[in-house]
Chains A and B, each alone.
Chain A
């Protein structure tokens, strides 16, 4: 049953990065949009993620619940040593969710919109940045469980080049996902051309930020190159991701929206899969080298079993209805688009 839990953990993280990521990305794309286009982008964003944004963020809750029920020592360690970035991420989550809804549901359209937009865009950037930073910090090997000083125990574990670069990388991935996603939703040529340019920009940014991650890893002696050298599987996966990115770059202006989205989703899934494979089964890498793994940190026995059953039963309810929700509003959107055209 532990494997069921592990699969759900991986799946929730993946879905959160894909769905939540595209969602944050929409705000990141908004930052990079010149003001004359912003209104359109905002409307498109709203129409696309409006009905499902809340569901997208549920994957984070599921991830956290799996952690504290199934891997309590990881949750405890994470929330102790990474207290500060977690708090900052939470502030981002608060700002982002509320600003998104408030700006739409404010009955009066006035200067307050600017405030909402500012909070929305800033927190769309901050949240994935810290999320990525936290992931980076978990495997960065700077967590010292016996540290006593404030800086050693609560700051250096995450304030280092590697973790920061993973944070940046996550931001670019989100932007990339959203830009590609929005291309398919754009309603006129100008908007589309703009979004294609943005997608390409984010592809470039993702590659650069990815390079930065490897660089930072080298400087900090995080054994990440193993991903490229020595492990054929991860190398293969990453090569495939690269090919997919190149295809996207070329095909974006002409290809339909489904192939583009599939490619973008594939790129991100591949990156996560390569990382996952590389680090499996480690969850936290500490400076002393006593890592917390999916196996040694699991709350074995009944807690894992009941958790697995709860997840299995839950997914029987969740997955079909979530699918139907996404399908319904996609269908509705294309109907609208047709009647307007």
Chain B
């Protein structure tokens, strides 16, 4: 495999892996804090058990997030030294703040996971909230760094030199807000539906139904609210891109020729050679409306860009269709859920209703990975949009393909291990519920 391609794949695999754990690390603390809050308020043991059961899972996800994140902070240099040479000082601000956020997160997590029965209950609860808030903060900060790659700011690019660097302006670049908002919501959608789906499945299996029902409700309320807001935030992103990165928008939409009153192309397979999209549904004028708020507006197509500046259309377009399609499915599921809470509470005990949510388990994460594919592949061939090409930034070391294979192997094994551990944890829930205490995370297996 060619080195550049291998490097791009390695970056994609590492980020795609990390983001799953990062999302869980950002969102689960809020679920735990909610359940924990209910326990402190109602003193119902079931909520305490739920909190503890979740926190054991979180510890496993957390460490996987932490090691994969550590890998990433080296990988940026291992794969893209020429990018980091220039970008480091410019987009470093979010990373240096992120360091603090991680630190606080790690410290608060130490308190939270090991602090049962050791501290004032509300202090203990509060450390859990801190884990969530600092996790969200670090997510938003690192997205700001990514947004800078899409929308470079905070320096003057003169004759290949990066002058007048202003790290603060770089952090608050134009893409920052729309991406951070969309990403934060996505984390809640993906994690909420995944957790709810697993608990729906366990309810179907008929064990500890009350326990899983409580878990399902907490997770899904978060997930469903976020899912309903997601298209609105997605629309903000799209309008933003239409101005900032028209080539990306054109690739997302399979929009080859600049035109007024451009149609929205749904689905289909882009045929790059003949510059058209086969098998698609077209809605006249809709793209103009979505991109610029006016059915007549002109939307820039790929024809405005020289071939060497065009992003890969097929991948970007399909990934975008997947994200939006799944987003709509999730909105549907969310509305159904709200309706059932309002009018049809009994649905929660029916098999078809639970099965729907079981099927929804992976959808949020698939949409999330697809969304990142849109953002990152749609930025190509640039690593810093309009400034530095990905091909010019790659490491000179030969044989990157081998490290790619190694990483794929390691991440696969980790994924298997995490799944395996999680299944074992879940199997252990019924047993541990019967015993009152002592079995959970607060001490080691050797009774101390």
Give the Cβ gap from B321 to chain A, nearest Cβ, in Å. Answer: 34
Contact between chains at A105 and B421 (CB < 8 Å):
yes
User: Pick the contact of A72 from B88, B166, B446 — CB < 8 Å?
Assistant: B88
The distance in angstroms between the C-alpha atoms of A106 and B303, with both chains bound, is 56
Known: A54-B66, A75-B88. A108 touches B444 (CB 8 A): no
Q: What residues of A have a CB within 8 angstroms of the CB of B70 in the complex?
A: 57, 60-61, 90, 93, 97
Contact with A along B68-106 (1 / 0, CB 8 A): 111101101110011011101110110111111011101
Contact between chains at B446 and A43 (CB < 8 Å):
yes
User: Pick the contact of A47 from B56, B64, B95, B448 — CB < 8 Å?
Assistant: B448
Contact between chains at A317 and B88 (CB < 8 Å):
no
Q: What residues of B have a CB within 8 angstroms of the CB of A62 in the complex?
A: 99, 103
The distance in angstroms between the C-alpha atoms of A64 and B89, with both chains bound, is 13
Indicate whether B266 reaches chain A with its CB closer than 8 angstroms: no
Indicate whether A214 reaches chain B with its CB closer than 8 angstroms: no
Known: A76-B82, A94-B414. A69 touches B88 (CB 8 A): yes
Indicate whether B424 reaches chain A with its CB closer than 8 angstroms: yes
Identify the stretch in A164-172, A200-208, A234-242, A300-308 within 8 Å (CB) of chain B at 4 or more residues: A300-308
Contact between chains at A76 and B84 (CB < 8 Å):
yes
Contact between chains at B74 and A307 (CB < 8 Å):
no
Known: A55-B107, A105-B421. A306 touches B410 (CB 8 A): no
What residue in chain A is nearest B400 (Cβ atoms)?
A83
Indicate whether B387 reaches chain A with its CB closer than 8 angstroms: no
Known: A83-B78, A93-B70. A69 touches B428 (CB 8 A): no
Q: What residues of B have a CB within 8 angstroms of the CB of A322 in the complex?
A: 103, 107
Identify the stretch in B111-119, B185-193, B344-352 within 8 Å (CB) of chain A at 4 or more residues: B111-119
Contact between chains at B113 and A313 (CB < 8 Å):
no
Number of contacts between A and B (CB, 8 Å)?
Answer: 209
Indicate whether A212 reaches chain B with its CB closer than 8 angstroms: no
Contact between chains at B88 and A299 (CB < 8 Å):
yes
Indicate whether B205 reaches chain A with its CB closer than 8 angstroms: no
Identify the stretch in B236-244, B363-371, B391-399 within 8 Å (CB) of chain A at 4 or more residues: B391-399
The prevalent SS among residues of A at the interface is helix
Indicate whether B60 reaches chain A with its CB closer than 8 angstroms: yes
Indicate whether A135 reaches chain B with its CB closer than 8 angstroms: no
The distance in angstroms between the C-alpha atoms of A46 and B446, with both chains bound, is 11
Which of chain A's residues 55-70 have a Cβ closer than 8 Å to chain B? Answer: 55, 57-58, 60-62, 64-66, 68-70
What residue in chain B is nearest A110 (Cβ atoms)?
B424
User: Pick the contact of A104 from B98, B99, B444 — CB < 8 Å?
Assistant: B444
Which of chain A's residues 28-74 have a Cβ closer than 8 Å to chain B? Answer: 39, 43, 46-47, 50-52, 54-55, 57-58, 60-62, 64-66, 68-70, 72-73
Contact between chains at A301 and B95 (CB < 8 Å):
no
Indicate whether B121 reaches chain A with its CB closer than 8 angstroms: no
Indicate whether B231 reaches chain A with its CB closer than 8 angstroms: no
Which of chain A's residues 141-193 have a Cβ closer than 8 Å to chain B? Answer: 150, 153-154
The distance in angstroms between the C-alpha atoms of A336 and B111, with both chains bound, is 17
Indicate whether A233 reaches chain B with its CB closer than 8 angstroms: no
The distance in angstroms between the C-alpha atoms of A41 and B71, with both chains bound, is 29
The distance in angstroms between the C-alpha atoms of A107 and B431, with both chains bound, is 11
Give the Cβ gap from B105 to chain A, nearest Cβ, in Å. Answer: 9
Give the Cβ gap from A45 to chain B, nearest Cβ, in Å. Answer: 10
Contact between chains at A72 and B85 (CB < 8 Å):
yes
Contact with A along B408-448 (1 / 0, CB 8 A): 00100010010001001101100000000000010011101
Give the Cβ gap from A170 to chain B, nearest Cβ, in Å. Answer: 18
Indicate whether B24 reaches chain A with its CB closer than 8 angstroms: no
Give the Cβ gap from B275 to chain A, nearest Cβ, in Å. Answer: 40
Known: A58-B102, A70-B89, A76-B82. A97 touches B397 (CB 8 A): no
Contact between chains at A61 and B99 (CB < 8 Å):
yes
Contact between chains at A79 and B81 (CB < 8 Å):
yes
Contact between chains at B414 and A325 (CB < 8 Å):
no
Contact between chains at B73 and A80 (CB < 8 Å):
no
Give the Cβ gap from B229 to chain A, nearest Cβ, in Å. Answer: 30
Contact between chains at B99 and A65 (CB < 8 Å):
yes
Contact between chains at B167 and A105 (CB < 8 Å):
no
Indicate whether B15 reaches chain A with its CB closer than 8 angstroms: no
Indicate whether A101 reaches chain B with its CB closer than 8 angstroms: yes
Known: A61-B102, A154-B397. A97 touches B56 (CB 8 A): no
Known: A51-B114, A97-B66, A299-B88. A79 touches B109 (CB 8 A): no
The distance in angstroms between the C-alpha atoms of A51 and B441, with both chains bound, is 11
Contact between chains at B424 and A306 (CB < 8 Å):
no
Contact between chains at B111 and A106 (CB < 8 Å):
no
What residue in chain B is nearest A187 (Cβ atoms)?
B448
The distance in angstroms between the C-alpha atoms of A299 and B78, with both chains bound, is 20
Contact between chains at A321 and B104 (CB < 8 Å):
yes
Contact between chains at B84 and A108 (CB < 8 Å):
no
What residue in chain A is nearest B110 (Cβ atoms)?
A51
Contact with B along A303-335 (1 / 0, CB 8 A): 100110011011001100110010011001000
Indicate whether B281 reaches chain A with its CB closer than 8 angstroms: no
Q: What residues of A have a CB within 8 angstroms of the CB of B424 in the complex?
A: 106-108
Indicate whether A100 reaches chain B with its CB closer than 8 angstroms: yes
What residue in chain A is nearest B167 (Cβ atoms)?
A306
What residue in chain A is nearest B134 (Cβ atoms)?
A317
The distance in angstroms between the C-alpha atoms of A47 and B114, with both chains bound, is 10
Indicate whether B1 reaches chain A with its CB closer than 8 angstroms: no
Known: A47-B444, A69-B96, A93-B70. A101 touches B63 (CB 8 A): yes
User: Pick the contact of B410 from A61, A76, A91 — CB < 8 Å?
Assistant: A91
Indicate whether B20 reaches chain A with its CB closer than 8 angstroms: no
Indicate whether B286 reaches chain A with its CB closer than 8 angstroms: no
Contact between chains at B63 and A54 (CB < 8 Å):
yes
What residue in chain B is nearest A116 (Cβ atoms)?
B417
Contact between chains at B56 and A75 (CB < 8 Å):
no
Known: A43-B444, A107-B428. A310 touches B78 (CB 8 A): no
Contact between chains at A108 and B428 (CB < 8 Å):
yes
The distance in angstroms between the C-alpha atoms of A64 and B425, with both chains bound, is 35
Q: What residues of B have a CB within 8 angstroms of the CB of A4 in the complex?
A: none
Give the Cβ gap from B198 to chain A, nearest Cβ, in Å. Answer: 16
User: Pick the contact of B95 from A69, A104, A321 — CB < 8 Å?
Assistant: A69
Indicate whether B59 reaches chain A with its CB closer than 8 angstroms: yes
Indicate whether B168 reaches chain A with its CB closer than 8 angstroms: yes
Interface residues in chain A, defined as those with a beta carbon under 8 Å from any beta carbon in chain B: 39, 43, 46-47, 50-52, 54-55, 57-58, 60-62, 64-66, 68-70, 72-73, 75-80, 83, 86-87, 90-91, 93-94, 97-98, 100-102, 104-109, 150, 153-154, 299, 301-303, 306-307, 310-311, 313-314, 317-318, 321-322, 325, 328-329, 332, 336, 340
**Residue contacts A-B, CB under 8 angstroms, 6 given:** A46-B444, A98-B64, A102-B421, A105-B56, A107-B428, A306-B93
Interface residues in chain B, defined as those with a beta carbon under 8 Å from any beta carbon in chain A: 56, 59-60, 62-64, 66-71, 73-74, 76-78, 81-82, 84-86, 88-90, 92-93, 95-100, 102-104, 106-111, 113-115, 118-119, 165-168, 395-398, 403, 406, 410, 414, 417, 421, 424-425, 427-428, 441, 444-446, 448
- The 7 tightest CB contacts between A and B, nearest first, are A69-B92, A79-B77, A314-B100, A303-B89, A299-B89, A107-B428, A51-B110
